[in-house]
Chain A
Amino acid sequence: MITESALLENRYFDSVFLMRVSKRLSEQPGINYAAMVMGTPKNVQILDDAGYEGIDSLGASSNDLVVSLKADSVDAAQEVINSLERFLVRDTSKVATETKVRTIGQALTQQPDSNLAVISVPGEFAAREARQALQNGLNVFLFSDHVSIEDELALKQTAAENGLLVMGPDCGTSIVGGVGLGFANAVRKGFIGVIGASGTGTQEVTALAHRWGSGISHAIGVGGRDLSDDIGAISTLQVMDALDKDPNTAVILLVSKPPGAKTLALVNERIAACSKPVVTCYLGSEKGLFPDSNNVTTTHNLDDATTAAIRLAGGMRVDEGNDITPESIQRERLKLKDNQQYVRGVFAGGTLCYQAQQVLRDAGLSAHSNEPLDKDKLLADSLVSVGHTLVDMGADEFTEGKPHPMVDSTQRVERILVEALDPEVAVILLDCILGYVASDDPAGEIASAIAQAKRTAKQRADELSVVVSVCGTELDLQGLDGQVALLEEAGATVFKSALQAAQYAVQLVAKKD
């Protein structure tokens, strides 16, 4: 195999577009791997580390497009490089792509009533652009990650002084007045206002609320660090003020990892003064650590949080039901051999991975992870599972220079197949996240790997259980029922709740630990 690289000077493209083109390039005849990135020092280093030789000698800058191909032959690589322009053509049918606006100031001239900047530029430039947005009187949805905690604090302080909001950084999801920002599910409007310091946690509670008959006024992401003592819940408190005043919100649901000690006191003080009932869900905390008080209902998982919010909003949870019975669990358990003891979770959603770890811990099972609940359960190597292991494939080590698993399941597919080779594995636990910006067919991307994993086990006369939770609604573009059907046809047991999927997985391996 040979490596061929090329540089296109002063051609800037966003990372999502480039990842899509990279995938198409890798499917061309004679091409084994393709990388297409902007030539930032960090990207060049990532490619160099990944064995794309000669990248650093190209002399790329952040505005230059770097293409590197691992191919069967020089001819195969050159043929693709010579026709690159064909792959770089955008779909011009979309009006938003026609803009020639180059600055926030120009955009404001074109659209003076703008109320929000959506920022997803590379992390090293994100704080600068967010600052400029705030200076121009715009609220900020900051999707970019790799923003320092110092920058986050400064941005949020500036925003708060000016009555503006910073959602993020690393904010995956918000729904503002029914409009989804970033990765969000299509949900009906209703009376539950969500404050989310966790992207997939926000997706799960909003999707559950919709499917269980309720709806969402707004769901505002605040960034995973907002409730740390470093930030002091600046955005959370601002959003709570706004939702308290919002006539369309009847109950406020706060989803986060446990706050810092000082910040918890601030949040509790604000909740006590809130005119509306508040539901908290601090994932990862020990049960009973945060007791109910006055207008706070404390919950321990995303399903209970959603159920409580629906009730407090004056509704009643519509039970979806499923085919799982004690007998069906027993039948599935009997298929497993005695040496099949372990759950292996391969997650796209970080919060769903975190909640699953909590389910295992509550059942007395100790789970390892690259993003562990307890520090002593940190995997030595994220690529190698040990005992019960639940991996967050959206973590930095898997996404630097590579697509997030909610956009492209390639890395998850590889991991599923690796886990299936281990005869001690009883259950592979997965999530499948629908919604805006996510893959067009997330279930289709993992379905063949699920079937293959089960075949692999069967070849050594084992039965392997594959359990999948689907996060989504019937309004999502991917089509909820069709996605569930694809997974079931592949042999998976499918739940529409990540909690229920994790609990089912635990029941399959109970007393086998």
Chain B
Amino acid sequence: MESETAIDKLLATPVAAINLGVEDFADNLESQGAWVVHVNWTPPAGGDPEIIAILDKIL
């Protein structure tokens, strides 16, 4: 018997989502009875690609 992957579990259990970006998507999931946490996302480091690259290296 093959081991159960996270994909198998996704198909077998209720959706419990973390939403990043468009807030309507979180509202939409919630209206369908799914569990959802909306992340109050903003561009990291003010959106500066150089600082983001540095952050990604050191964190």
Contacts and interface: CB of A to CB of B under 8 A. Distances in A.
A133 interface: yes
Nearest to B15: A179
B31 to A, nearest CB: 8
B20 A118 contact: yes
A61 B46 contact: yes
A180 B24 contact: no
Interface in A319-353: none
A176 B18 contact: no
Interface in B1-59: 2, 5-30, 32-44, 46-49, 52, 56
Contact of B22 (A15, A101, A128, A176): A15
Contacts of A99: 37-40
B25 A125 contact: no
Contact of A133 (B5, B18, B38, B49): B18
Interface residues of A, number: 68
B27 A115 contact: no
B53 to A, nearest CB: 10
Contacts of B49: 124
Contacts of A125: 43-44, 47
Nearest to A93: B27
Interface stretch (A160-168, A366-374, A375-383, A499-507): A160-168
Interface string A62-98: 1100000000000000000000000000100011110
Interface in A1-50: 12, 14-17, 38, 40
Given A111-B18, A125-B43, A165-B7, A96 B32 contact: no
Interface string A437-465: 10000000000000000000000000000
Interface stretch (A238-246, A304-312, A425-433): A238-246
Contacts of A165: 6-7, 10
A490 interface: no
Given A182-B25, A218-B11, A101 B37 contact: yes
Contact of B6 (A101, A107, A111, A164): A164
Interface stretch (A137-145, A149-157, A262-270, A411-419): A137-145
The 7 closest A-B pairs by CB, nearest first: A62-B47, A120-B21, A163-B5, A96-B26, A62-B43, A12-B42, A120-B22
Interface of B: 2, 5-30, 32-44, 46-49, 52, 56
